[in-house]
Structure 1
Amino acid sequence: MKTFLLAAGLALTTSFAAVADTAVTYSVDQDFDDVTFGLESAITDKGLVIDAVSHVGAMLERTKEDVGSDVTIFERAEVYSFCSASISRKVMEADPMNLQFCPYGIFVMQKPGEDMTTIGYRVMPEGVMKEVEAMLDEIVQEAIGE
């Protein structure tokens, strides 16, 4: 796991973690709505179209009793799905199996009782898909004002 040092001023409001090498996450001392607004703006500012917003937190809360649970996992949690025609073409021309990663997703969540909002994305495999990961990180950084 990579360790990143943050400037002292940012350390109080933003933290970075790679979660089990499967996701990159940033936890910020920002309101959930501000982070999702920033995310929507960052995606569309790149000329990309949001295909869907999955309201995962609301679905899990709504169905928890139906599946025999009483646990509230998230205060709020959403996944934004979108694609980039140019990057997608590039990575799929390199390997058509990269189709499995499209559309790309960025998630935003807030856990019960926590003031921090977490935003992140899946780690992409080595090779040409790292270009997608760089795009996702750029969008996330813009969304949280980094």
Structure 2
Amino acid sequence: MTRIVAAAVIVALAGPVAADGVVTYPVEGSFEDAAFAVENAIIERGLVVDFVSHVGAMLARTGADVGSEVALFEAADVYLFCAAVTSRNVMEADRMNIAHCPYGIFVADTGDEVMIGYRSFPEGPMQEAQALLDEIARDASGN
């Protein structure tokens, strides 16, 4: 029985963590390796990274300006991209799904862990886009 419980805990820890509309996957390795893996996972699907937002650097640079000494991340980037087929499908179902585009996958190093994640989408047509993000995040994180 102890082995079953231990195995369940290991499986649970290796899987995605979903909280407050965010899905994350733990990464074994460095921030740089995870960032490289995310970019490759996007490109390997024939997609183009439109922009990389260096959120961690911005927060570190502006902390003192806003009166904070809290270091939120060692590093954190958000990779923004679009997927023509997926975007057309979800927007043909509901034009207001434009609010969810472009799609973003983040890589963050909290100092305690490196993770890859994305914001979850509402039920319905946007689940097609969420499935794409999940596939990319799983591939890049090795989960």
Query: Which residue does 2:126 correspond to in 1?
Result: 129
Q: Note the C-alpha offset of 1:63.
A: 0.6
Q: Could you say which structure has the higher helix fraction?
A: 2
> 1:91 & 1:12 partners in 2: Cα distance?
31
Q: Note the C-alpha offset of 1:19.
A: 1.0
> What SS does the corresponding residue of 1:40 show, helix, strand or coil?
helix
> What SS does the corresponding residue of 1:18 show, helix, strand or coil?
strand
Segments of 5+ residues of structure 1 without an aligned counterpart are none
> 1:13 & 1:126 partners in 2: Cα distance?
25
> 1:118 & 1:143 partners in 2: Cα distance?
10
Query: Which residue does 1:33 correspond to in 2?
Result: 32
Query: Which residue does 2:87 correspond to in 1?
Result: 88
Q: TM-score, normalised by structure 2?
A: 0.89
> 2:90 & 2:117 partners in 1: Cα distance?
21
Q: Note the C-alpha offset of 1:81.
A: 0.3
Identity %: 53
Kindly tell me the number of residue pairs found equivalent between the two proteins: 139
Query: Which residue does 1:16 correspond to in 2?
Result: 16
> 1:108 & 1:65 partners in 2: Cα distance?
23
> 1:144 & 1:72 partners in 2: Cα distance?
24
> 2:138 & 2:109 partners in 1: Cα distance?
18
Q: Note the C-alpha offset of 1:118.
A: 1.0
Q: TM-score, normalised by structure 1?
A: 0.87
> What SS does the corresponding residue of 2:133 show, helix, strand or coil?
helix
> 2:15 & 2:127 partners in 1: Cα distance?
22
Query: Which residue does 1:58 correspond to in 2?
Result: 57
Whichever residue aligns with residue 35 of structure 1, its letter is A
Whichever residue aligns with residue 75 of structure 1, its letter is E
CA root-mean-square deviation: 2.2
